[in-house]
Amino acid sequence: MQRAPGPSGPTPKATRAGDSASEPERPGRRQRAGSNVGAVGADGRGRHVVLVGAMGVGKTTVGRRLARELQRPFADADEQLELRAGRTIPAIFRDDGEEAFRRLESDVLADLLGAAHPLVVAAGGGAITRPENRALLGRRAFVVWLRASPAFLSARADPTHRPLLAGDPDVTATLERLIAARTPLYEEVADATVDVESFHAGDEKPKRALARHIARLFWVPAEAPG
């Protein structure tokens, strides 16, 4: 498992533009990446790329751009879920509760990652909470954790479409709690971790820069361990 970082602090695993495109490989992860390679393509590049991370971090916008960079289709898991259910996420939470939403979320993720052709997928922020989703991500995807601090996210995560934040008088505190609980799960699934805030601080087009950076991480694999 990856070392526990704070949500905003850089770690040796985290990268941003200008760093080496190859990240140091975590012990244990290399083995899992190896099994991905066997499962879906001769060199592992046929894997789906899945963006994970907290609400408001930019998974959808970056994912769309990344899909263009990699010349493959993009799917937003939340959008697919709403299409399939014929209802919005807030309505599903309100009428059926979070557990029902999580079941749908798992079904949609399984269908997307079962696609024969490689996709770029933006996963919902809580998709990593279910063990079966994490196992599936490990088998079928190159997973990129877009990481940012609660303060950064609270300025960006629109609560109107997000039932876990809607009507919350202290969105930052809720994001802090969610991120603290989920950080070990993001770490567990991540093949690469990208600190988003430094891109916003240093680039006029941060989402384009993020997409290009992630594309490089994907195309330039880490060195095999000696």
Q: Which stretch binds ligand S3P (CB under 6 A): 61-69, 110-118, 146-154, 156-164?
A: 156-164
Strand order in 120-122's β-sheet? 14-15, 192-195, 141-147, 48-53, 120-122, 74-76
Query: Do 120 and 67 touch, CB atoms closer than 8 A?
Result: yes
> Between 52 and 81, how does the x/- string for binding to ligand S3P read (CB under 6 A)?
---x---x------------------x---
Residue given tokens 């995560």 in the structure block: 157
Binds ligand S3P (CB under 6 A): choice among 7, 124, 150, 206: 124
> To the nearest whole angstrom, how small is the minimum distance from the Cβ of residue 125 to ligand S3P?
3
Nearer to ligand S3P, 128 or 222 (CB): 128
> Between 165 and 204, how does the x/- string for binding to ligand S3P read (CB under 6 A)?
----------------------------------------
Beta strands in the chain (DSSP E): 14-15, 48-53, 74-76, 120-122, 141-147, 192-195
Verify binding: residue 112, ligand S3P, rule CB under 6 A.
no
Verify binding: residue 82, ligand S3P, rule CB under 6 A.
no
Residue among 108, 182, 107 nearest 147 (CA): 182
Q: Which residues of 19-40 are buried (b: 16+ CB within 10 A; e: fewer)?
A: eebebebbeebeeebeebbeeb
Verify binding: residue 207, ligand S3P, rule CB under 6 A.
no
Q: Which residues bind ligand S3P (CB under 6 A)?
A: 55, 59, 78, 89, 124-126, 162-164
